Amino acid sequence: MTRDGVLTDTPNSQDRFLQKLYTSLWGRCVLKIVTRPFLSKLAGWFLSKKCSCFLIPRFIKNNNIDMSQFEDVEYSSYNEFFCRKIREGMRPIDGGERNFISPCDSKLTVLPIVDGARFTLKHTSYSIESLLQNKALAEEFDGGLCLIFRLTVDDYHRYCYPVTGQKGENTFIQGVLHTVNPIANDVYPIYKENSRAYCVLENDVFGKLIMMEVGALMVGKIVNHHGAGDITRGQEKGYFQFGGSTVVLLAKKDTLRIDGDILNNSAQNIETVVKMGEKIG
């Protein structure tokens, strides 16, 4: 199977804007203001109100979104539009229980978890231990695979379980932003981690997996539906509200064989465009 690829290091307009925020003096000043909790709450409040709907038509036009794929409803807010639902049948779930599926629409990179490996998520570099903030759990995935599903603003922002089995309790990690000497530092001016949520999934075919959602720095919000319990492959797990976001899957050593085109693309720093429910391994 041959899928479209996107160069990982080719920045889009959103990436270029974020790079300016993180590396310029004016950007650091703006970040310190707009990431204050009360402003994030205010932005979230506005985007959940009817008055935010005027933003929708321009967003659709600027991002070339094919609205024929989505349910034909009148949106009550911009956030409701952003996490809009796909029409039934537009994201069929691959039928093979031994086939591993993509949990979301995204640009996918698959990387090995080796000693010293670090993974860049939303402009922040993590080891598996720092990502999970759990050394013992991270060590279980040594030698395994890290699947990074990068969603951009034009993607469908709902995601599903990739396997049938049991889900553990949710763990939430609060994001942080700390400006380090903003006048003197002009290369790495901030220490930043995005908020993220993860859980352990247990499956008879693929064993123990970790599924994590990474939220946007400012107003992004992760909405997950379930606590611990039984889950079904293709069942909706949750959705992201406004902000480009990322889903991460961790697989143990020798439990998952990813399709060759995805591995070849990842080795060349190329992301592979995938859709929710599509076989990827």
User: What distance in Å separates the CA atoms of residue 130 and residue 207, rounded to the nearest whole number?
Assistant: 23
Q: Is 195 a catalytic site residue?
A: no
- CA distances 80 to 65, 77, 129, 198, 223, Å, are 15, 5, 34, 24, 12
Respond yes or no: is residue 24 known to be catalytic. Answer: no
What is the distance between the alpha carbons of residues 149 and 83, in angstroms, rounded to a whole number?
A: 17
Kind and range of the H or E element at 54? none
Choose the catalytic residue: 52, 245, 259, 266: 245
Please tell me which residue in 105, 106, 155, 259 is annotated as part of the active site.
Answer: 105
Tokens at residue 176, please? 């942080």
Buried b (16+ CB within 10 A) or exposed e, 102-113: bbbbbbbbbbeb
Are 142 and 113 a contacting pair, CB within 8 Å?
yes
List 107's β-bridge partners, or say none. 150, 273
CA nearest to 177, candidates 164, 187, 167, 190: 190
Element spanning 132, H or E: helix 128-132
Contact 179, 26 (CB under 8 A): no
Active site residues: 105, 245
